[in-house]
Amino acid sequence: MAREFARVGVVGLGTMGAGIVEVFARGGIEVVAVEVDEASATHGRETLEASTQRAVDRSKLATDDREALLGRVRISTNLDDLADVDLVVEAVPERLELKAEVFAALSKVCGPETIFASNTSSLSITELSVRTERPHQVVGMHFFNPAPVQALVEVVRTVVTDPEVLSDVTGLAVQLGKSPVVCGDRAGFIANNLLFTYLNQAVGMFESHYAGREDLDAAMRYGCGYPMGPLALMDLIGLDTAYEILDTMYRQSRNQRHAPAPILKQMITAGLLGRKSGRGFYTYAAPGSPEVVADSLTPPPPGQEGGDQRSVQRVGVVGTGTMATGIAEVFAKSGYDVVVRARTEAKGEGVVAGIRKSLEKAVVKGKLSESARDETLARVRPTTTFDDLTDCDLVVEAVAEDLEVKQAVFGALDDVVKQGAILATTTSSLPVVECAAATQRPDDVVGMHFFNPASVMKLVEIVSPITTAPDVTSTVRAVTAKIGKHPVLCGDRAGFIVNALLFPYLNDATAMLEANYATADDIDSAMKNGCGLPMGPFALLDVVGLDVSLAIERSLYMEFRVPGFAPAPLLEHLVTAGRLGRKTGQGFRDYQKK
C-alpha cells in the first residue's frame, strides 16, 4: 500500500521553501517548518501569509480555507521538532556543504522511517545522500517556482534509492495535485539540463554578434511559440543563478555546451544580473521591474534604420507548393501585385485556387470582407515564364529544398529580372550565399525564410550572407514588417536562428531518452509543465517528422562540428526503421491511423 504522509517537515523558509510549505498545507498535511533563527522564521511566515492572501484576493482560495491552511503550519528554529515527521524536504540555499550539513543533522534527529528529499535544482542527490545514515531513503524533490502554481515536480532517484521510497514520493506529488516526473541523478535533471543548454547557446549567439537580443528572443517566441525569448528568460532567472547552474552542470558533465558563455561572467562582474538589478541583457525601468526600456542596443523600427532603401511595388514568387502559395497570399493581402511563376498553367491555377480557398475561410470566419477577398485575388497573376518577372522589384524563390534546383532558378532570374531588383530565397537550411553565387548580382540576394503556414506564422528570418548589400537587408526588413510579419536579422549559417537553437535541444532530449535517463512522457511533461513550452520535444519531433529533423541535425553538425550536435543514434535508427512520426503513424509514439 502507498505510504501515508500525515506530517512533513521543510527546512528553509525562503521563497521556495515557503512555497513548498504552502503546497503541503494546501494538501491537508501538517507541516513543521524550520529556519535558522527567529528573524528568518518571521520572514518565512510573512511570505506564506502574503502568498495565501493573494490567493484569497484572486478568488483562488476561500478565507476559511486559508485560515485552516495556516493552522496546519508550525514554524520553528529547532531541528529536533522534525523528529516525528514522515518526510523532510530541504530547501536551504544552493550550496552543497550547507545542504550536506542539514542532511547530516537530520539523520541524527529523525526517525528511521523518515524520507529525506532535497529541492536542489542542480546539485548531486547522491553526494547529499551519503552524508546521511540512510542513503536509500534520499531522493530529489525539485519543485519549480512559484511552487504553489507550477505543476511540475522532478523526483530524482540515485543508484541506491529504494524503489518503494521513489514510488511513495511520486504518489505524494500526485496527491498534492502536481505532475511528477522521475529521472536519474544528473546535474540539471530534466528541465534545467535541456533548458540551460539552449539558453547558453542563445547567449553565445548574442556574444558572437550573430543576431541581436530582440531578434533572438522574437525568433523563438514567434517561430516556436515559446512564452519568452532566451535572453529575456535569462534576465528573469538572474544571470548569476544561470551561471551557477551551468557551471555545476559543466563540472559534472565536462560537456563544452554546458560551459557558461564568457559574457555571463563579465556581466555578473559588472553587476548586470538581469531584472533584479535593473540591467542584464536588457535595461529595465527599475530593479525588479518587468518593464523594458530603450537603451543603446535597442534597434530602430523597420524602415527607420537610416540610409537608402529600394522601392518595392511588384513581387514575384517562384514555386507552386504550400509555402509559395502562402507567400503569394501574404503579399497580395498586403496590397502588392504578385506574379507567380509556375512550371505549368495547371500548377499556376492551383496556386490561385489555394489562395481563394484560404481567403474564403477568412470570409466565413468574419476575418475578411468579400470585397477584400476579391481585391486580393485580382492582384495575383500566374505565369509559366520567367520573362513575366522582369519588372518585379522583389522575387521570392520557394521551390524544392534542393541546392541545384534553387541555383538554376537564381540563374534564370539573373538573366531576366531588372537590375536593382532583390532576389530572395525562402530556404530553411541551405546556404544563401550558394544561391547568390549562381548570379552576377550577389549583393542583391538575401534569405527571406518564412515559416509554415506562411499565411499564419508571424516570423520571417532575414538571412544576409557577407555578399548582401546593406540596403537590401534594410529594404527586406521594412517590407517584411509591412506585410504584417516580424522580421529578425541573422547571418548565413546552418539553421539560422530558430533551427540552430531548436534542433540541438531536440537532439539533447533524444540522447537523454536513449540513455534511459527518463521516459519520453516524463521528458515531454517536464518541458511543458516546467518551462511552459507548447509541446514536449518528442511530441514536436513526431509532428516535424523524424526524417526532416535528422536532415536538419546533420546539417548543423556538418556546419559546426560540435560533438553534441551529432544526431543521436536513436533518431537515426527510428528513421531507418521507417518510423518518421505522425505522417507514418509511428515515431517516438504510435498514432492511430485515420
The answer as to whether 395 is a domain residue is yes
Contact present, 140 and 155 (Cβ < 8 Å): yes
For residue 111, is pLDDT > 70? Answer: yes
For residue 291, is pLDDT > 70? Answer: yes
Grade residue 415 by pLDDT with cuts at 50, 70 and 90.
very high
Q: Could you give the C-alpha distances from 493 to 251, 257, 560, in angstroms and in order?
A: 30, 19, 9
Amino acid symbol at 563: P
Nine-digit cell string for 553: 541535425
Query: Residue 1 has what pLDDT?
Result: 62
The answer as to whether 285 is a domain residue is no
Q: How far apart are CA 139 and CA 155, in angstroms?
A: 7
The answer as to whether 303 is a domain residue is no
Over the stretch 163-215, which tens digit does the pLDDT of each residue have? 999 999 999 999 999 999 999 999 889 999 999 999 999 999 999 999 999 99
The answer as to whether 384 is a domain residue is yes
**β-strand 314-318 against 394-397: which pairing, if any?**
parallel
Q: Which domain holds residue 507?
A: 498-584
For residue 539, is pLDDT > 70? Answer: yes
For residue 240, is pLDDT > 90? Answer: yes
Q: Which residues of 123-139 are buried (b: 16+ CB within 10 A; e: fewer)?
A: bbbbebbbbbebbebbb
- The backbone torsions φ and ψ at residue 284, rounded to the nearest 5 degrees and listed phi first, read -115, 160
**Within this chain, do residues 213 and 178 fall inside the same structural domain, yes or no?**
no
Last residue of a domain, one of 443, 462, 490: 490
Average pLDDT over residues 289-303: 94
**Within this chain, do residues 265 and 325 fall inside the same structural domain, yes or no?**
no
> Using CA atoms in the order 110, 114, 120, 121, what is the torsion angle rounded to 10 degrees?
180
**Within this chain, do residues 175 and 221 fall inside the same structural domain, yes or no?**
no
Average pLDDT over residues 479-490: 97
Q: Among 22-26, 129-133, 205-209, 270-274, which is the least confidently predicted range?
A: 129-133
**Within this chain, do residues 133 and 35 fall inside the same structural domain, yes or no?**
yes
Query: Residue 305 has what pLDDT?
Result: 81
Q: How far apart are CA 255 and CA 248, in angstroms?
A: 11
Q: How far apart are CA 180 and CA 72, in angstroms?
A: 24
**Within this chain, do residues 517 and 564 fall inside the same structural domain, yes or no?**
yes
Grade residue 594 by pLDDT with cuts at 50, 70 and 90.
low
Q: How far apart are CA 405 and CA 423, in angstroms?
A: 15
Last residue of a domain, one of 439, 469, 490: 490
**Within this chain, do residues 163 and 195 fall inside the same structural domain, yes or no?**
no
The answer as to whether 259 is a domain residue is yes
Q: What string of DSSP letters covers 339-362? A: EEE-SSHHHHHHHHHHHHHHHHHH
Looking from the CA of 454 toward its CB, the CA atoms found within 13 Å total: 26
Query: Residue 307 has what pLDDT?
Result: 81
**Within this chain, do residues 384 and 442 fall inside the same structural domain, yes or no?**
yes
Mean pLDDT taken over the chain: 95
Average pLDDT over residues 7-32: 96
Average pLDDT over residues 485-503: 96
Q: Could you give the C-alpha distances from 592 to 519, 542, 582, 583, 584, in angstroms and in order?
A: 21, 13, 9, 11, 10
Amino acid symbol at 94: E
The answer as to whether 309 is a domain residue is no
Domain of residue 552, CATH code: 1.10.1040.10
**Within this chain, do residues 134 and 27 fall inside the same structural domain, yes or no?**
yes
Grade residue 429 by pLDDT with cuts at 50, 70 and 90.
confident
Domain of residue 27, CATH code: 3.40.50.720
Residue 141 β-bridge partners? 155
Average pLDDT over residues 81-96: 95
Task: Give the active site residues.
Answer: 121, 142, 154, 192
**Within this chain, do residues 65 and 181 fall inside the same structural domain, yes or no?**
yes
pTM of the model: 0.91
Contact present, 426 and 323 (Cβ < 8 Å): yes
Average pLDDT over residues 464-482: 97
Contact present, 300 and 474 (Cβ < 8 Å): no
First to last CA, the chain: 41
Average pLDDT over residues 468-484: 97
Per the structure, the count of domains in the chain is 4
Over the stretch 306-357, which tens digit does the pLDDT of each residue have? 788 999 999 999 999 999 999 999 999 999 999 999 999 999 999 999 999 9
Quick one: what percent of the chain has pLDDT higher than 90?
A: 95
Q: Could you give the C-alpha distances from 104 to 40, 101, 153, 242, in angstroms and in order?
A: 21, 5, 24, 28
**Within this chain, do residues 471 and 511 fall inside the same structural domain, yes or no?**
no
Average pLDDT over residues 257-271: 97
The answer as to whether 301 is a domain residue is no
For residue 568, is pLDDT > 80? Answer: yes
**Within this chain, do residues 80 and 124 fall inside the same structural domain, yes or no?**
yes
The answer as to whether 283 is a domain residue is no
Contact present, 568 and 507 (Cβ < 8 Å): yes
Last residue of a domain, one of 438, 456, 490: 490
Average pLDDT over residues 430-447: 97
Cα torsion 341, 343, 345, 348: sign:
negative
**Within this chain, do residues 349 and 460 fall inside the same structural domain, yes or no?**
yes
Q: How far apart are CA 8 and CA 85, in angstroms?
A: 5
